Chain A
Amino acid sequence: MDDFLVIDHVSKTFGTQRAVDDVSLTVAQGEAFSLLGPSGCGKTTLLRMIAGFERPDRGRILVGGQDITALPPELRPVNTVFQNYALFPHLSVWENVAFGLRMSRRPREEIRSGVDRMLELVRLSEHARKRPAQLSGGQRQRVAIARALVNRPQVLLLDEPLAALDLKLRQHMLMELNTLHEQVGTTFIYVTHDQGEAMSLSDRIAVMNVGKVEQVDTPENLYETPRSSFVASFIGDANFFTGVAVELQHEGYVRVQVEGLGSPLVLSHGTVVPNQTLRLMVRPEKISLTLSRPPSGERVNAFRGVVEDMAYFGSHTRYRIRAGEHSILAQLQRSRFSGGGIDPARGAEVWMSFHPDEGRVVRLEGDA
């Protein structure tokens, strides 16, 4: 079933602010899906509407074909892992996990076995009698996940699940969440502002900005073929140039005249008309740096610049290169053993080049 969770033209306004603006999404059963965006983009409001804490002003939300828009949270086949975990401080770990089953008045034996099995799954059996306050951050989070999953929700919502953890633990929990998702096979919906988290946790990501969905795609497609400059800059780093289409070629290639950079050839996914103003995007690591002019050809975009600044990151080095009024970010993988590496100093003159397939036409900000 490809449309297990359906968000159908949902809008929500707080006062004068449109928190969620006519959003439509579908999520498949068992999918790991992320709502990604900066704070205030509406992702949390959308999550709270799926959970039932907010009612949409317009639109419908369906789970497994059932319209749940009007249902209160307690009647929805959906459970949430809250950002601060919201564990009940007066109950033990075991009782926290049992809470949902007790509320649905399951038989005592079923509660016992269900809670025990779930605590085993998140490896907290030996902490069952402790209070949440006695646990570490990572353990608390696993309690929160167990407390939600024990109810066998059709959709599990996770609100910034890793935000409260330190870096080391975050990387560890990232793997653990992926493993858990594979084990239980439930539909997971993550809300996060961290693109790295979203990329490594999800099958697909909806990138949101000011209440709207900018693009829904796989992590790879979002990175390689972002459709808007917002998506391009939110997911990874990007260089942007504005120019005018001067020559349309076959298979979507278009030559764009950019003030101060000549006329690079790039790839466009939409229709482009001559003399149209376009925005180009090139990822820093797609730009090659050479000391001399690269062999020229139809398929090479090359320009000259001066190294303005550089920063060493261990696995790679970043350069800020000035070319006319453009300031371009380039990134070199650095390995002592890779041959042919160059090491330009500040003030050095270098050539930048990229293949036409690595340059993309993206939507201008504010374009529909």
Chain B
Amino acid sequence: MSTRLRPARQWLITLPSLAWLGVFFVIPAVLVILTAFRPADLQGGVGPGWTLATLKEVQDPAYLPILWRTFWLSGATTLICLALALPVAFQMAHSGERMRQVLLLLVVIPFLSNFLIRVFAWKSLLHPEGPLTKLLIALHLIPENAVLLNHAGTVLLVLVYTQLPFAILPLYAAAEKFDFGLLDAARDLGAGPLSAFSKVFVPGVRRGILSAAVMVFVCCLGQYVIPQMVGGTGDEMLGSKIAQRVFSDRNLPHASALAGGLMLAVLLPMLVVVLWQQFGRKEAE
């Protein structure tokens, strides 16, 4: 017990990170939420006094399809990323040391170039005059007049592309701790390779799946660059609207109300996840 610090010293040690979180996360978040209750002024700033008018404004039913699209695109991205990342993480954890390093490098290599540039690369790749479109038409895989760009599918594709590493990394971290001998045991007890994977490996890395899902889902919810650059006019996500309210409409309270709502929509599921994990840990003890 000698290693356990006295409470006062514990606080002292966590103080810098708490201060960081407070200054750069909690206070801005509170400011955003407070702004939602201020009236907008015509110069794009915030007027005096308090009002609930903005909250009524954002209950506009026109937001519903956008909200729905935001959630289904994020949900679909999360599912596709998990489906792709699980076998990758499995293979990475199962590989030898050298192969593992190479695969890990391949996963993080996209981060070496700027996010905007990578999205723009997709834009030119999928452009009607772009190389991919031309190749697919030449191979008769898509019709002559096919448009790959500017619809919800494109947004989904690029979302999956950008978020995949964020699914692979936490899953790989979990898979690395997984005891692969358990798969032998499953096979020994009559499970085929696929059953062993789904009945033993997947539950074995469920914490990693949870982290990956939260990571990808939350990152998707706030996206506005991707729908704007590769999506069509009807593919806006909530993030696009928030950006629009800030930069075009110069209506900060409205943008704040949307952002605050989205923040709650993200924080509440995470709270559930955290509580569930706590519960799971207690159960395991």
A and B found bound together: yes
- Residues of A within 8 Å of B185, CB to CB, are 80, 82, 86-88
Please determine whether A86 and B181 come into contact, CB atoms closer than 8 angstroms.
Answer: yes
Query: How far, in angstroms, from A343 to B131 measured CA to CA in the complex?
Result: 96
Please determine whether A74 and B187 come into contact, CB atoms closer than 8 angstroms.
Answer: yes
Please determine whether B189 and A99 come into contact, CB atoms closer than 8 angstroms.
Answer: yes
Query: How far, in angstroms, from A89 to B207 measured CA to CA in the complex?
Result: 13
Please determine whether A79 and B204 come into contact, CB atoms closer than 8 angstroms.
Answer: no
Q: How many residues of A contact B (CB 8 A)?
A: 26
Cβ proximity bits B183-201 to A, threshold 8 Å, 1 near / 0 not:
0111111111001000110
Please determine whether B181 and A82 come into contact, CB atoms closer than 8 angstroms.
Answer: yes
Please determine whether B187 and A99 come into contact, CB atoms closer than 8 angstroms.
Answer: no
Please determine whether A151 and B190 come into contact, CB atoms closer than 8 angstroms.
Answer: yes
Q: Report the minimal beta-carbon distance from A368 to chain B, rounded to whole angstroms.
A: 36
Q: Is A72 an interface residue (CB 8 A)?
A: yes
Please determine whether A90 and B189 come into contact, CB atoms closer than 8 angstroms.
Answer: no
Q: Is A104 an interface residue (CB 8 A)?
A: yes
Please determine whether B204 and A103 come into contact, CB atoms closer than 8 angstroms.
Answer: no
Q: Report the minimal beta-carbon distance from A94 to chain B, rounded to whole angstroms.
A: 14
Instruction: Classify chain B's interface size.
Output: 10 to 19
Query: How far, in angstroms, from A103 to B194 measured CA to CA in the complex?
Result: 12
Query: How far, in angstroms, from A80 to B200 measured CA to CA in the complex?
Result: 17
Interface residues of B in 157-184 (CB under 8 A from A): 179, 181-182, 184
Please determine whether A74 and B192 come into contact, CB atoms closer than 8 angstroms.
Answer: yes
Partner of A72, one of B181, B187, B189: B187
Please determine whether B181 and A84 come into contact, CB atoms closer than 8 angstroms.
Answer: yes
The total of Cβ contacts below 8 Å across the A-B interface reads: 67
Q: Report the minimal beta-carbon distance from A138 to chain B, rounded to whole angstroms.
A: 19
Cβ proximity bits A138-149 to B, threshold 8 Å, 1 near / 0 not:
000000000110
Please determine whether B187 and A89 come into contact, CB atoms closer than 8 angstroms.
Answer: no
Query: How far, in angstroms, from A82 to B180 measured CA to CA in the complex?
Result: 12
Given A74-B192, A103-B195: A90 touches B187 (CB 8 Å cut-off): no
Among residues of B, the one whose C-beta sits closest to the C-beta of A73 is B187
Given A88-B200, A90-B203, A90-B206: A53 touches B184 (CB 8 Å cut-off): yes
Q: Is B62 an interface residue (CB 8 A)?
A: no
Among residues of A, the one whose C-beta sits closest to the C-beta of B280 is A90
- Residues of B within 8 Å of A73, CB to CB, are 184, 187-188
Chain B CB within 10 Å, residue with most, of A78, A84, A86: A86
Among residues of A, the one whose C-beta sits closest to the C-beta of B192 is A74
Q: Is A175 an interface residue (CB 8 A)?
A: no
- Residues of A within 8 Å of B182, CB to CB, are 86, 88-89
Query: How far, in angstroms, from A94 to B129 measured CA to CA in the complex?
Result: 61
Please determine whether B203 and A151 come into contact, CB atoms closer than 8 angstroms.
Answer: no
- Residues of B within 8 Å of A53, CB to CB, are 184, 187-188
Interface residues of A in 169-217 (CB under 8 A from B): none
- Residues of A within 8 Å of B189, CB to CB, are 74, 79, 99-100, 103, 147-148, 151
Query: How far, in angstroms, from A148 to B187 measured CA to CA in the complex?
Result: 12
Among residues of A, the one whose C-beta sits closest to the C-beta of B185 is A86
Please determine whether B190 and A100 come into contact, CB atoms closer than 8 angstroms.
Answer: yes
- Residues of B within 8 Å of A148, CB to CB, are 188-189
Please determine whether A86 and B191 come into contact, CB atoms closer than 8 angstroms.
Answer: no
Cβ proximity bits B124-153 to A, threshold 8 Å, 1 near / 0 not:
000000000000000000000000000000
- In addition to A82-B184, A89-B182, 17 A-B residue pairs with Cβ atoms within 8 Å of each other are A52-B188, A53-B187, A74-B187, A79-B188, A79-B189, A86-B179, A87-B185, A88-B185, A88-B200, A99-B189, A99-B191, A100-B189, A100-B190, A103-B186, A103-B189, A104-B190, A133-B284
Chain A contacts to B: CB under 8 angstroms:
51-53, 72-74, 78-80, 82, 84, 86-91, 99-100, 103-104, 131, 133, 147-148, 151
Residue pairs across A and B with Cβ atoms less than 8 A apart, 24 shown, are: A51-B184, A72-B192, A73-B188, A74-B188, A74-B189, A74-B191, A74-B192, A79-B189, A82-B181, A82-B184, A86-B179, A87-B185, A88-B182, A88-B200, A88-B203, A91-B203, A99-B186, A99-B189, A99-B191, A99-B199, A103-B190, A103-B191, A147-B189, A148-B189
4 tightest CB-CB pairs across the interface, nearest first? A103-B190, A100-B189, A86-B185, A73-B187
